[in-house]
Amino acid sequence: MIIVTGGAGFIGSGVVAGLNARGIDEILVVDILGKDEKWKNLRRLRYTEYVEYEDFLGILDAEYPEWPVEAVFHMGACSDTTETDCSYLATNNYEFSKELAEWAADLDARFIYASSAATYGDGSQGFSDNEEDIDLLVPLNMYGYSKQMFDQWARRKGLLEKIVGLKYFNVFGPNEYHKGDMRSFVIKAFEQITTTGSVRLFKSYRPDYADGEQRRDFIYIKDAVDMTLFFFDNPELSGLYNIGTGNARSWNDLAKAVFAAMGREPRIEYIDMPEMLRDRYQYFTQADVSKLRRVGYRKPTPSLEASIKDYVQNYLQKNEYLGAD
């Protein structure tokens, strides 16, 4: 059995789809379906069982599960970067992750978990995924810090010599529809263009960046999943790894790619950034993927324009979801 926590969520459901594409169906999906529409992400996937988070805690309390566990993909977390309940984030993203990692270690199961590029903060310390640099990082929000807390704990316990933590950069693509304000700007731009014919981007508040020229490492969900499953295929690998393209692109580039995919001429308006975000805003992120390449991941990532075209034309315009095929 393979366990995917957050398996109805964005990246988690992508992992399930990726496993299905390999003919793997013996999957236990763990999530909290709640009242949003992420349940729709499950409709085209194949899995053996679904368990709500609270019921899964009972499985963790059992001495042994009733079935052998081959691997745990721990993608479940509160990923809201604006969440202000720090105790909730500490419990959900840190304490539960510790319990699950130790449980998997006791079962000798492969453990691959979602860390985050949010751990890099303003980027002043670079974007190196070397474990010895963990303590130099200063996240800008509690979400990022909750992820760093677990990275640091796993290193202290010696678990980073056995498990894999993946620092996802700006992931976009199908199955993010339920995420509200946490959806990627690709889908937000698509909706803005559909409704108004234009796109609104934040102004820059730094003289070294023109409006809309703030840059991020945008990675398509299909590529992020492929990189994730690389570590399932190579169980000898361990430690922290960046999941990104290694090529930062501007918000202007992203917006223009959405216009092009929709067959429209660009119309971009620059608006004021809310004051609460100005001190916590990342002007530049770019994954250092040299470590990922060094351990054997060779597949090139498509261009931002090609990935956005696939997302817009094959998913957003058709209201489609990632499937098992």
d(CA 75, CA 13) in angstroms, rounded, equals: 9
d(CA 97, CA 147) in angstroms, rounded, equals: 10
Judge residue 272's burial from the number of C-beta atoms within 10 Å of its C-beta, 0-12 exposed, 13-18 middle, 19 or more buried.
Answer: exposed
**pTM beyond 0.85, yes or no:** yes
d(CA 150, CA 164) in angstroms, rounded, equals: 12
Could you tell me which of 182, 172, 234 has the C-alpha nearest to residue 77? Answer: 182
d(CA 312, CA 297) in angstroms, rounded, equals: 27
* pLDDT at position 19: 98
* pLDDT at position 258: 98
Q: For residue 231, how many C-alpha atoms fall within 13 Å in the half-sphere facing its CB?
A: 28
d(CA 319, CA 205) in angstroms, rounded, equals: 36
120 DSSP 8-state letter = G
62-68: which pairs have CB atoms within 8 A and are 24 or more residues apart? 64/107, 65/1, 65/107, 67/1, 68/1, 68/107
* pLDDT at position 283: 92
d(CA 255, CA 198) in angstroms, rounded, equals: 9
- Residue 294: both structure tokens together: 């060094």
- Residue 32: both structure tokens together: 């909290």
The low-confidence residues of the chain, meaning pLDDT below 70, are 63-64, 325
* pLDDT at position 63: 62
Catalytic residue positions? 143, 179
H runs (alpha helix) in the chain: 10-21, 53-61, 86-89, 96-106, 142-156, 185-196, 221-233, 251-261, 275-278, 290-294, 304-311
Find all residues with CB under 8 Å of 297, minimum gap 6, and list them: 227, 230
CATH number of 2-169+220-245+287-301: 3.40.50.720
d(CA 204, CA 212) in angstroms, rounded, equals: 7
8 Å CB contact between 264 and 197? yes
d(CA 232, CA 228) in angstroms, rounded, equals: 7
d(CA 297, CA 267) in angstroms, rounded, equals: 38
For the chain, domain boundaries: 2-169+220-245+287-301
* pLDDT at position 110: 97
